Amino acid sequence: MPLYATYYLDDENQPRPVLINGQSGRVYGARRASMQRAQRTALIIVAVAAVIFFLSLIAGVAGLAAPPLLVVAGIGGVLALCVGLGAIIPVVRAWQFNRRPVEVL
């Protein structure tokens, strides 16, 4: 039966072996989540939250002249807070995934 062997490099550039069954296509090897990718995603989410917050500040300052914009600024501030808190989700999910026992599939 054909069996193919390959590997992938993890975040520390360590090779992780992977075996592929040539008949069934099943893959055998340790599955790990990339913390670097999770952190990069979290930074992008934080940047989006910062942009929303900055736009809310601008709307708040403009709201001094036009009071209805204060409502937009308040909603934007709450939205920026929610998006900013959501930035921890990718890192926590990757950490939880890697914390599980290594499964050999």
Q: Count how many residues are written for the chain.
A: 105
In the numeric block, the tokens 């736009």 are attached to: 55
Q: What is the pTM of this model?
A: 0.75
Mean pLDDT of the chain: 90
Residue 103: its pLDDT value, please? Answer: 54
User: Does residue 55 surpass a pLDDT of 90?
Assistant: yes
CB atoms within 10 A of CB 23: 8
> Which one, of 79, 95, 102, lies nearest residue 35 by Cα?
95
d(CA 13, CA 16): 9
- CA distances in angstroms from 38 to 32, 90, 100, listed in the order given: 12, 5, 17
pLDDT tens sequence across 16-54: 898 888 888 888 888 788 999 999 999 999 999 999 999
